[in-house]
A and B are shown apart, each in its own frame.
Chain A
């Protein structure tokens, strides 16, 4: 039999547990794995935040140095001046095109934050050997691509302090809250539209864009 005092203690403990987030057990409840050391964290922690550059490492790079690294590491896919090669992405151009029939979203026309460019090059480029460039090389490439887009002068030096201050053209044109649902269709069941008004506006018939869906894999290229 439990004494009333013991029941009281038990209730207090239960209440305390219920007050932690989502009724969670204390940290380390299961005890699996190992506590990550500062050295381990430093080795894994590669991210840099777009808005304020938090996480950018020491180092720096000039536009001229960036041009050299770019010619060696990037030009084959992105073109000598960022114009793109084949279906690899363009890095420049498209300024003022975002309302057009064929918008061109690039670093110059679309990207809102300069540190994001450093982060992406550092984590994913060059495509055949990602995350093999030094911090200085990534800073230099970032400086060069920003200069190709006329976002910084030729003497710009990219580092952890200068990058967050670069004013990107499309910085203020993002809405970071989701306004959906933005359609409000009603589930009409009968005579919802006039049958005479039902008209085919476009068809995929005869467009010759579709790879085959039977037999072996297709290798079709645009006609």
Chain B
């Protein structure tokens, strides 16, 4: 029996060691080959690709790979298995009312892949049959409507890129530097391309009565999550979306229908959207009274603080991505603002003594993540790396000390302060706060 010329001994020995199940296609002729080559104890015919003596052909260069529908949906490379959303088990009683964090340290652009978009559920994510899902719009309207998903898909379509950030992002850093991780300190922000229908189109279709000033938006999950929104924001730029990054919403992001409220706190972006009711006054729901309000040092609280102020963070270096010896690097990061576009980002490597303007990368979109970079020659000495964003309204990202001077440290929400990473001589990186 002669081996299939398409297959090398090296690949077969590799396949035989493979911890993952072999695809059906891979079994073609495998039995014969196993007896043929492996039984002879064949040594790999190729050089170790990690060695540097050319020419070195790796096993994957001397074999044929898997075919087109080997993975009909697709998935990341096996070696990227660590790039996943993660939670902090000790933070909440269970995972159903909890949050997962996006691995920002591994993401290279402004779009968050759908499988890595951070999650926040209050009663777990429901599994909804879109054929049974309906959206009701009623209250102070001329013509209350019940819309099926098929109905909603017929309305004129809009596609825009926006970030969504949980207002508790960075909440664990209010009192002190606690989480030694970019993922856990900043991972409650993600950005996607959303497709759906403008909320204004739906509200015009039902006809808004002139007394209407507010909308109550409600989800179909077990929490029946609901929030009040001013009608002006609803008519300005809100979207009722069914698609994210070109495909249907994922169940954990609100499938089949969610609200996107650009630039405003994540909690108002109601998922599994089932009802919109117009009224004269806000509802003062539990989510906008006992939660998602900012407790000030004098004991008063701020409610209806929907806007996510300008914020930025350096994504390299960071605790998960230490520096590999002195030399030339590119400091990389992300900036965003709920108030429109990012105007400028400055970077400091000396704890805020001196700053340099970073390069902003296109596209720079309103209420979307914006990528920035700055070349940096690291000399191996201790450094304190930080970024500071200025948005198009002129608002400057504050230091944590400036923010605490206004709000104390009892708030859980809206910590948009400058993040400092301490770089030690061995290249390791730590989350620190400066006095």
Contact = CB atoms under 8 A, between A and B. Distances in A.
A155 interface: no
Contacts of A203: 177, 422, 430-433
A187 B346 contact: yes
A219 B183 CA distance: 16
Contact of B204 (A25, A32, A41, A98): A25
A123 B222 CA distance: 8
Contact of B406 (A105, A182, A187): A182
With a 10 A CB-CB cut-off, give which of B290, B397, B402 has the most chain A CB atoms.
Answer: B290
A99 B298 contact: yes
Contacts of A50: 283-285, 289
Nearest to B92: A87
Interface string A189-206: 111111101111111110
Contacts of A219: 89
Interface in B169-190: 176-181, 183-184
Interface in B335-358: 344, 346, 350-356
Nearest to A173: B300
Please tell me the size bucket of the interface on A.
35 or more
A130 B275 contact: no
Contact of A124 (B222, B274, B388, B433): B222
A5 interface: no
B300 A174 contact: yes
A113 B148 contact: no
A46 B224 contact: yes
Contacts of A180: 305, 307, 309
A127 B205 contact: no
Contacts of B151: 32-33
Interface string A150-185: 000000000000000000001001111111111111
Given A98-B295, A130-B222, A193-B352, A49 B275 contact: no
A58 interface: no
A208 to B, nearest CB: 9
With a 10 A CB-CB cut-off, give which of A87, A181, A184, A219 has the most chain B CB atoms.
Answer: A181
A189 to B, nearest CB: 5
B388 A187 contact: yes
A148 to B, nearest CB: 16
Interface stretch (B20-28, B79-87, B255-263, B326-334): B79-87
A122 to B, nearest CB: 8
A209 B178 contact: yes
A26 to B, nearest CB: 7
B204 to A, nearest CB: 3
A6 interface: no
B193 interface: no
A131 to B, nearest CB: 6
B205 A29 contact: yes
B238 interface: no
A83 to B, nearest CB: 14
Contacts of A103: 295, 410
A64 to B, nearest CB: 25
B199 to A, nearest CB: 11
Interface stretch (B9-17, B137-145, B244-252, B366-374): B137-145
B286 interface: yes
Given A26-B207, A192-B353, A218 B89 contact: yes
Contacts of A120: 285-286
Interface string A126-137: 010011000000
B402 A28 contact: no
B301 interface: yes
B390 interface: yes
Interface in A38-76: 40-41, 44-47, 49-51
B309 A181 contact: yes
Contacts of B297: 99
A15 to B, nearest CB: 18
B229 to A, nearest CB: 14
Given A36-B138, A189-B346, A218-B89, A105 B295 contact: yes
B285 A211 contact: no
Interface string B140-180: 01111111100110110000000000000000000011111
Contacts of A112: 284, 289
B361 interface: no
26 contacts: A28-B143, A34-B145, A35-B143, A86-B93, A87-B91, A98-B299, A110-B290, A110-B301, A112-B289, A116-B284, A116-B290, A120-B286, A176-B304, A178-B307, A179-B302, A189-B356, A193-B351, A195-B351, A199-B435, A200-B422, A200-B434, A204-B177, A205-B431, A207-B178, A209-B178, A218-B89
Given A116-B286, A197-B435, 11 more contacts: A36-B136, A103-B410, A173-B299, A173-B301, A175-B301, A183-B406, A199-B435, A204-B319, A210-B184, A211-B86, A213-B103
Interface of B: 82, 84, 86-93, 96-97, 103, 105, 122-123, 136-138, 141-148, 151-152, 154-155, 176-181, 183-184, 200, 204-208, 216, 218, 222-226, 235, 274-275, 277, 279, 281-286, 289-290, 293, 295, 297-307, 309, 319-320, 344, 346, 350-356, 384, 388, 390, 395-399, 402-403, 405-407, 410, 422, 430-435
Interface of A: 21-22, 24-30, 32-36, 40-41, 44-47, 49-51, 77, 86-88, 98-99, 103, 105, 107, 110-113, 116-117, 119-120, 123-124, 127, 130-131, 170, 173-195, 197-205, 207, 209-211, 213-215, 217-222
